[in-house]
Chains A and B, each alone.
Chain A
Amino acid sequence: MARVKFLCDADRCIECNACVTACKNENEVPWGINRRRVVTINDGKPGERSISMACMHCTDAPCAAVCPVDCFYTTADAVVLHSKDLCIGCGYCFYACPFGAPQYPKVGNFGSRGKMDKCTYCAGGPEADLSPVEFQKYGSNRLAEGKLPLCAEMCSTKALLAGDGEIIAQIYKERVVKRGYGSGAWGWQTAYKETIAI
């Protein structure tokens, strides 16, 4: 069974934010919601690295575990998706998520949250594949078209990899061997409880 993952090769990421705007473009994500973001660690110091981060589609996803209405589900490709019809905007997934992935549009009183929104791995939602209603709620469904998430496809330096976890791990491994350095598969331990041994 294919198990898709994201891998950001921080030794290549240059914080160009293509992944961020590609996501906005592909999924028509509104202002204020960032399904993907790039964080720079040790900014301005030798050793600085930038990492593109979004929902990592965790194994045993904490968001799904804590959701009070059980609106999450995992696809056969191991993409963690959720139903906006079922979501009540309680914010628990945001407390639990180690990657800050869940986002909420500000609606209603008291700054309370609307339906949660997060990276779908460009795999839409529970609605019929490629239907307008699916697009409206979740954005595009590239997986159903046989394409990978646009953020990874458009990554300027091919730092962000998407695809079968074993394959992208292999690519990363080969890179590290070839170039002789690697700062790690960021987030993998937390999301998948594994690292890539070189």
Chain B
Amino acid sequence: MLIKRKTADVQRGKLQAAIAGLSSGVMDRRAFLRRSGLVAGGVAAAGALQIGAVRKAQAAGLGPSTGTKIVKNICTHCSVGCTVKAEVANGVWVGQEPTWESPINRGTHCAKGASVRELVHGDRRIKYPMKLVDGQWQRISWDVAINEIGDKMTEIRTKSGADSVYLLGSAKFSNEGAYLFRKFAAFWGTNNVDHQARICHSTTVAGVANTWGYGAMTNSYNDIRNSKTVIFMGSNAAEAHPVSMQHIIEGKEVQRANVIVFDPRFTRTAAHATDYVRFRSGTDIAVIWGMMWHIFKNGWEDKAFIAARVHGMDDVRKEVEKYDPKTVEDITGIPGEQLERAAKTFATVKPATFIWCMGVTQHSVGTANVRAICNLLLATGNVGSNGTGANIFRGHCNVQGATDFGLDIANLPCYYGLVEGAWRHWGRVWGVEYDYFQSRFDEVPAKGGRAARTRKQNMETSGHTSTRWFDAANLPAEQVDQKDNLKAMFVMGHGGNTIPRMPDAVKGLEKLELLVVCDPHPTNFVSLGGRKNGTYLLPICTQFETSGSRTCSNRSIQWGDKVVEPIFESVSDYEVIYKLSQKLGFAEPMFKNYEMVKGKYGMEPTPESILKEINKGGWSTGYTGQSPERLKLHMAHQDKFDFTTLRGAKGSPVENDFYGLPWPCWGTPEYKHPGTHILYNTSLEAKNGGGTFRPRFGLTRERTLPDGSKVNDTMLAENGSFSLNSGIQDGYPEFTMAVLKKLGWDGDLTPAELETITRIGGANVDGVSWAIDLSGGIQRVALERGCVPYGNGKARANAWNLPDPVPVHREPIYSPRVDLVAKWPARPDERTLRIPNLHTSIQKAAVEKGIAKSFPIVLTSGRLVEYEGGGEETRSNRWLAELQQDMFVEINPADAQSRGIRDGAFVWVSGPENNSKARVKALVTERVGKGVAFMPFHFGGVFQGADQRGNYPAGTDPIVLGESVNTITTYGYDPVTAMHEGKVTLCQIAAA
């Protein structure tokens, strides 16, 4: 089928001319190539081949094909945020061109980005709404689907409560979609709303936010060009974030930087390191503390930085003393010398940055891992300036935005928490009474020895996490801390094969009364298990078929325009959420602030108007300055931004702005804050993108001295640490009306601002803070005076409110080193987020049962470049699927030989729980060390050897199916966020 360039310029060139060697075009082309070279030669100093501008001019000279329009959107795969340039002719997406002007990807893509066009031609998409009737898929209309789903949800709500319906959202939503879905949960009356951040960086967000204020990447991909030392730990950017490697490799070349890769596996990223450090999965804290041991011993720490900006480093110093080189080598397997060299390099060859991903986060000690890394950064002063920072590469295209907008069990949009003040704040923004929301939540009866909860208390209690949704369905009702067990899953854009213990998930699926899957492709939720009824499949379009903004990992927000109309009968997230709200009876209050336009099968809100509502309420995170108009202006002038600093060029319409207005972008859009490229960067003015650590943990902290007396340590910055030209040349708390008054700055407020503040404050005007002042006046005044609205505080080396305030090494739940378990045990059993978390019981049982003997191989998991997430979307893309046609397990040649396993042969991988097993191909390679195996996590559709292709509706089955690694992975949950332990368990492998 010819679907490209039907209407191209065909005058030039004739057959004979072509054979003779191309006539008319030759001079043009030669000239072009020569010129491309001249440009390239100039830029080559920076290691770049930049041919965009010349090429474009040349193309224009040749005359573009008629009737083709260019639409810019953002790649829907990873969080790097590559701009996709689509050529559209007659409503058909006919070609992709490189977007040279994007400061993030400069025209480039990875395998996924270069093939996104297939998504909107995909013949394997869900074509119309369907439901499962006695095991058969039946086509139904949208109206029937929404009616039946709504009725069933209402029935479950009446019987079991609102909390019995789990709202699982997606990092594939646009910001507006994510926000809308969170708002939907609020109107439905539950905090059981979550998305993929739970399983990728929830522990990062918890760890980082508890250290210095915000839970996000501190710098940017581009900024890594400034780094002289780069550490990767548990991050395989070459496969997971390939375009980021453009910045990192070029930076490495230009700076002659050290790139140190810590990984149990010799990854494609490790192949470009200057030092590769192999270590045992699940020993991250010991690795970091081992480095810190050398740093403290040799005095390589940044003493001035610690004194001015860090609280509690001495507590860390005390813990680190236990991690001498011998102990660390025993735990981690890293030769002492190698670790010392890495520590020295990181501490002394600065600026240095630390990059981590799920290798760090997906552990039962995930939050503590993150906290340890933060401490390393704080101790060496590698936060808050160019080339430094915690560069957390997030996973999905909008996992940052979806996190920001509270698709999370513990937050309202923009990290407002679940406290009354937060609910009232969003109630004001939405124009809905606080009492309404309260009325929507369940009353939870007393059970299992726990006290009952009122509606208000339930409204302020964190929800149940997506990592254990099936436990909430399977466990005895008494153990589940909500009105009743889980009865329904409403899943939008989330795979079913992404969390461990799939045999348990299968049981959970069978318990559900209602399963709704809204997705462009049927996910593993559909193929898994033996459901016969009560399953609905709703076709949702991709982000290429609708508009909206998305936030990349570096907090830059990019606007994507609709490329083509939603294909088949699919509709946008906005439309389906609106339809369901209508059915459930709260569409009017929920959507009243939005501009409604005609969607595919009814009305839908415009993403612009949703973003404007976000701008009205997102003060705490600085999501207020990024109006749709400003974002669109940035997309139109991408070429005006500097490649390293991301700053808009002088004299351009985006002058001084940072690309994508990375949050926090304080104040109103009219205030024109440039956004914040680098968080906590004191070398810039607050109103010009500068910042400080956020004091959100009190103003002082009591400390007991060795003699038993107590002192109060300040939590505010000291020793002259403040952002450039600060009006307060010292630490200071967050701005409230009271603080303004005390400083005598309240006179700077305009009457209109004052009026709004007075209205919000009511009886307590002094209590109105920078975060709930809808006028933006308090922020404006603070910024004008050179201050950061949230204050100027210290980062916490000791996060006293977390389970391990100072991280300690704890062996994985399934540890291969049983001899170390006694000394470094898992945490005692506890309850985490509505259900029991049996760290110790399971770990002890594993030791007692001798699991490490019968399952001697450490199993870890990770990404492939061709696929993403649960993989249904990418495994349905024929351009990608061809490149990875089989699920596999990487096994070391020594282990393979001793088991009689040949490269490419089938093997059974068995796990220690549920008698789980998976039939996959062996990839015999030295990438993994002896006694270690690796499996990619994108596969599904084959379960314990059984092909489930028949479970997909006809014609929607992905091209490639395979066993999921999470059939094998096991119990283990972080005590803070219930992140699963997907990166370390034990297994056995045998030839099939």
Kindly identify which residue among B51, B266, B880 contacts A44, using a CB–CB cutoff of 8 Å.
Answer: B266
Q: Which 8 A-B pairs have the closest CB atoms?
A: A167-B37, A129-B13, A146-B58, A44-B927, A16-B242, A17-B111, A179-B253, A130-B8
B residues near A (Cβ < 8 Å) are 1-6, 8-10, 12-15, 18-19, 21-22, 25-26, 28-30, 32-34, 36-37, 40-41, 44-45, 47-49, 51, 55, 58-59, 61-62, 65, 95-96, 98, 105, 107-115, 117-118, 238-239, 242-243, 245-246, 249-250, 252-254, 256, 266, 268-269, 271-272, 276, 865-866, 878-880, 882-883, 925-928
**Shortest Cβ gap from A120 to chain B (Å):** 12
A190 contacts B by Cβ under 8 Å: no
Kindly identify which residue among A14, A75, A163, A180 contacts B268, using a CB–CB cutoff of 8 Å.
Answer: A14
Asked whether, in the complex, the Cβ of A129 is within 8 Å of the Cβ of B266, the reply is: no
With A44-B926, A49-B271 known as contacts, the answer to whether A175 contacts B15 (CB < 8 A) is: no
Cβ contacts under 8 Å, A46 to chain B: 266, 271, 276
Nearest-CB residue, chain B, relative to A152: B49
The CA of A143 and the CA of B22, in the complex, are separated in Å by 11
The CA of A21 and the CA of B75, in the complex, are separated in Å by 14
Cβ contacts under 8 Å, B51 to chain A: 148, 153, 163
Asked whether, in the complex, the Cβ of B19 is within 8 Å of the Cβ of A126, the reply is: yes
A147 contacts B by Cβ under 8 Å: yes
Asked whether, in the complex, the Cβ of B266 is within 8 Å of the Cβ of A126, the reply is: no
Nearest-CB residue, chain B, relative to A158: B49
Cβ contacts under 8 Å, A161 to chain B: 49
Nearest-CB residue, chain B, relative to A133: B2
Asked whether, in the complex, the Cβ of A156 is within 8 Å of the Cβ of B245, the reply is: yes
Nearest-CB residue, chain B, relative to A151: B114
**Shortest Cβ gap from B891 to chain A (Å):** 11
Binary per-residue interface labels of chain A (138-181) against chain B in the complex, 1 for a CB within 8 Å, 0 otherwise: 00100111111010011111100101101110110011001110
Asked whether, in the complex, the Cβ of B95 is within 8 Å of the Cβ of A154, the reply is: no
A-B contact pairs, 15 of them (CB 8 A): A28-B4, A44-B928, A75-B18, A127-B15, A127-B18, A130-B10, A135-B5, A146-B29, A156-B108, A156-B109, A156-B245, A163-B33, A163-B40, A171-B40, A179-B252
A15 contacts B by Cβ under 8 Å: yes
Asked whether, in the complex, the Cβ of A73 is within 8 Å of the Cβ of B19, the reply is: yes
Nearest-CB residue, chain A, relative to B924: A44
Asked whether, in the complex, the Cβ of A171 is within 8 Å of the Cβ of B41, the reply is: yes
With A154-B108, A163-B36, A164-B36 known as contacts, the answer to whether A144 contacts B927 (CB < 8 A) is: no
Kindly identify which residue among B1, B40, B65, B98 contacts A150, using a CB–CB cutoff of 8 Å.
Answer: B98
Cβ contacts under 8 Å, B48 to chain A: 158
Cβ contacts under 8 Å, B61 to chain A: 146
Segment 72-88 of A: residues with Cβ below 8 Å from B? 73-77, 83
Cβ contacts under 8 Å, B115 to chain A: 21-22, 24-25
The CA of A148 and the CA of B59, in the complex, are separated in Å by 11
Asked whether, in the complex, the Cβ of B29 is within 8 Å of the Cβ of A170, the reply is: no
Asked whether, in the complex, the Cβ of A143 is within 8 Å of the Cβ of B25, the reply is: yes
A132 contacts B by Cβ under 8 Å: yes
Kindly identify which residue among A11, A15, A20, A166 contacts B238, using a CB–CB cutoff of 8 Å.
Answer: A15
A32 contacts B by Cβ under 8 Å: yes
Asked whether, in the complex, the Cβ of A132 is within 8 Å of the Cβ of B33, the reply is: no
With A28-B3, A128-B14, A171-B44 known as contacts, the answer to whether A77 contacts B37 (CB < 8 A) is: no
The CA of A143 and the CA of B25, in the complex, are separated in Å by 9
Asked whether, in the complex, the Cβ of B44 is within 8 Å of the Cβ of A174, the reply is: yes
Asked whether, in the complex, the Cβ of A48 is within 8 Å of the Cβ of B271, the reply is: yes
The CA of A76 and the CA of B31, in the complex, are separated in Å by 13
The CA of A146 and the CA of B835, in the complex, are separated in Å by 62
Nearest-CB residue, chain A, relative to B108: A156
B12, B41, B114 pick with most chain A CB within 10 angstroms: B114
Asked whether, in the complex, the Cβ of B37 is within 8 Å of the Cβ of A25, the reply is: no
A113 contacts B by Cβ under 8 Å: no
Cβ contacts under 8 Å, A179 to chain B: 47, 252-254, 256
Kindly identify which residue among B9, B108, B243, B926 contacts A130, using a CB–CB cutoff of 8 Å.
Answer: B9
**Shortest Cβ gap from A163 to chain B (Å):** 6
The CA of A50 and the CA of B5, in the complex, are separated in Å by 33
Nearest-CB residue, chain A, relative to B38: A167
Cβ contacts under 8 Å, A150 to chain B: 96, 98, 114
Nearest-CB residue, chain B, relative to A29: B879
Asked whether, in the complex, the Cβ of B18 is within 8 Å of the Cβ of A32, the reply is: no
The CA of A76 and the CA of B27, in the complex, are separated in Å by 10
Segment 106-145 of A: residues with Cβ below 8 Å from B? 125-132, 135-136, 140, 143-145
Cβ contacts under 8 Å, A144 to chain B: 12-13, 25, 62
Asked whether, in the complex, the Cβ of A175 is within 8 Å of the Cβ of B22, the reply is: no
Kindly identify which residue among B12, B37, B118 contacts A129, using a CB–CB cutoff of 8 Å.
Answer: B12
